[in-house]
Structure 1
C-alpha cells in the first residue's frame, strides 16, 4: 500500500490535472506491469539455469558412457570433432582479430594431436591392455580444449603502449640489462618447453603410463636379498644418505615445468658409496614401477644431469627401522603413485612416489626434520625446509 501511495504521489506531480482516482488506478496498473516484467525475467533466468544444469548432466552422462564403452576410434573421433567444432566457432562465429583466431586454432589442433597420441599409446596400447583409470583420465582430457579459449583470451583486452621519447631517454643501463635477462630467460623457457613436449618425450611418457597402477600393487620382490645384505653391512654408518637428482628423464622434465624446480627425484642410500640407493621409480622398463633399487649411472639421462648428496645423522636403530620397513614393502608389494603427483594422496599404503617414500621412511624412523604431509613433499623440500641445518652436504656429482 505504501508503494502505491508513493507511486500515486509521483504520478500526480507529473500530471497535476489527472483525477486522484485515475492516478490510483494507473499506479496499480503500472506496478503490476513492472512486477510481471520482473517475474518474466526471473522465469527466463530460471529456465536458463535449469537448461544449463540439464546440459551439464547430459555431458557428464556422455563422458561416463565414453569411459565405460569407448573405443580408440570413438575417443579419436570425439577429439577431432571437438577440435573442428571449436576451430569453426572461433573462425566464423566469434569476433576476434585474425591473430587471435590463428593462435586458438593452432592450440586446438595441438591439443587434439596430444590427445590422440595419449589415447593411442597409453589408453589403448598395441598390446591390447587398458585400465579403467586411464579411460577416466582420457575422458577428462576431452573437455580441456574448451578451456583454451578462456586461457588465451583472458588478457585480450589489455592495452599496450609504445614508450614516449622522454621515456626512452630515461632508460638506464640497469633496465636494459634487466630486459635482456628477461628475454634470455623467456627464450630458454621456450626452448625447454619445446624439448619437453617433443614427440619422442611425449611418446615415452604416454607409452609408459599403461605400466602403472595407482590402485593395486604391481611390484613384488624387486629388491634381491643381496641388497638387504649390503644395506645391513652399513648399519654402523651413523648416517642415512639423501640423494636429490636432476636426471633429465622425460617424466622428470615434464614435472619440472610444473614444480619450477631443477631437481625432481629423491632417493635414499644406507651407505656412503651409494651401493644401496633405493626409491620409488618407473623401473626403467626392467622392473615394474614401484620400489626399486637405483644405480648411480641411471641418473645420467642428459648432458647436464647432476646429483646432490646429503647425509643425515641417525642411530643404528633408526636405520634398522627403515630397512625393516623397506623389506616389508618389498614383500607386500608396491606401485608408483602416478595419480598422487596430482591428487597428493595414496589409495593404498605402499603406493607412493619418490619424495613421498623418502619422507615416509624418515618419519617412520623418527628422523624427519620438518613437518609436512608425505604426499605434499617435493624432492627439493629436503633441502629447502632444513631450517635447523640437520643435513650435511656431502658432494655433487655431475656427469
Structure 2
C-alpha cells in the first residue's frame, strides 16, 4: 500500500475570493500529488500565475508558479491510502494528461454547472476538483456517488476516506519547509 496526497488551497486572489463568497467553503482549489513533499503536484488552473483567464492542465510548482506568487496561500492536505496497482493506474492516466498537455482547457462552464447543479462536460476540459476526482475514478477509486464534473473541493473535506495531515500556510508545511530552496 502507498499514498497519494490531495491538497485543497486558497491563494486569496480576486477569482478565488469571488468563488468563496458563493460557495462559503474555505478552499476552492484542488490538486493531487504522488509524494508527501508535493514536488509532483498536478491540477487544472492558471497556466501563467499572472493571468487567471488562461487555464488548463498544469504541473504546479510551489517555488516558481502561482503558489510562489501568492506566498500567503492557505491549504489543507490529506493523504489517501491506495494500492500500488491503483497508484500505477493513476500515473498512467496522468501521463495521458502530461503527453497531451496543450489539448486540455479549463472547464469554466463546468464550474458554473456545479453552481446550478447541472453537469456541464466537454471532452478535454476540466476544472481542478473534477480533474482530481477523474484521476481517482479512472484508477478504480470511487469516493462519491456522483459524476466527477459535480465534485467540488469541499467534497474532499467531507470524505471519510481521506486522512487530514496538515492545515495552515502552504509554505509552512513541514516537508516543504525542509526543502525550501530560498532558505
Corresponding residue for residue 299 of structure 1: 67
Corresponding residue for residue 373 of structure 1: 147
Which of 227, 236, 254 aligns to 2:18? It is 254
Q: Which runs of 5+ in 1 are unaligned?
A: 1-236
Preserved contact between residue 247 and residue 301 of structure 1 (Cα < 8 Å): no
Give the Å deviation of 1:250: 2.0
Preserved contact between residue 86 and residue 139 of structure 2 (Cα < 8 Å): yes
1:1-399 matches, cutoff 5 A: 238-285=2-49, 289-297=55-63, 298-299=66-67, 305-332=73-100, 333-343=103-113, 344-348=119-123, 350-384=124-158, 386=159, 389-398=160-169, 399=171
CA distance in 1 between counterparts of 2:3 and 2:49 reads 31
CA distance in 2 between counterparts of 1:255 and 1:300 reads 21
Give the Å deviation of 1:368: 2.5
Corresponding residue for residue 62 of structure 1: none
Tell me how many residue pairs correspond in the alignment.
159
Give the Å deviation of 1:255: 1.1
Greater strand content: 2
SS state at 2:144 partner: coil
Give the Å deviation of 1:242: 0.4
1:293–1:263 CA distance, 2 compared to 1 (3 A)? same
Q: Which runs of 5+ in 2 are unaligned?
A: 114-118, 172-183
Greater helix content: 1
CA distance in 1 between counterparts of 2:149 and 2:139 reads 17
Give the Å deviation of 1:286: 7.8
Preserved contact between residue 248 and residue 300 of structure 1 (Cα < 8 Å): no
RMSD (Å) for aligned C-alpha atoms: 2.2
Per-residue deviation, residues 174-207 of structure 1 (Å, max 9, x unmatched) = xxxxxxxxxxxxxxxxxxxxxxxxxxxxxxxxxx
Preserved contact between residue 105 and residue 125 of structure 2 (Cα < 8 Å): yes
SS state at 2:153 partner: coil
* TM-score of the pair, normalised by structure 1: 0.37
SS state at 1:289 partner: strand
Give the Å deviation of 1:252: 1.1
SS state at 2:77 partner: strand
Larger radius of gyration: 1
Task: Tell which has more relative contact order, 1 or 2 (C-alpha 8 A, sep 6+).
Answer: 2
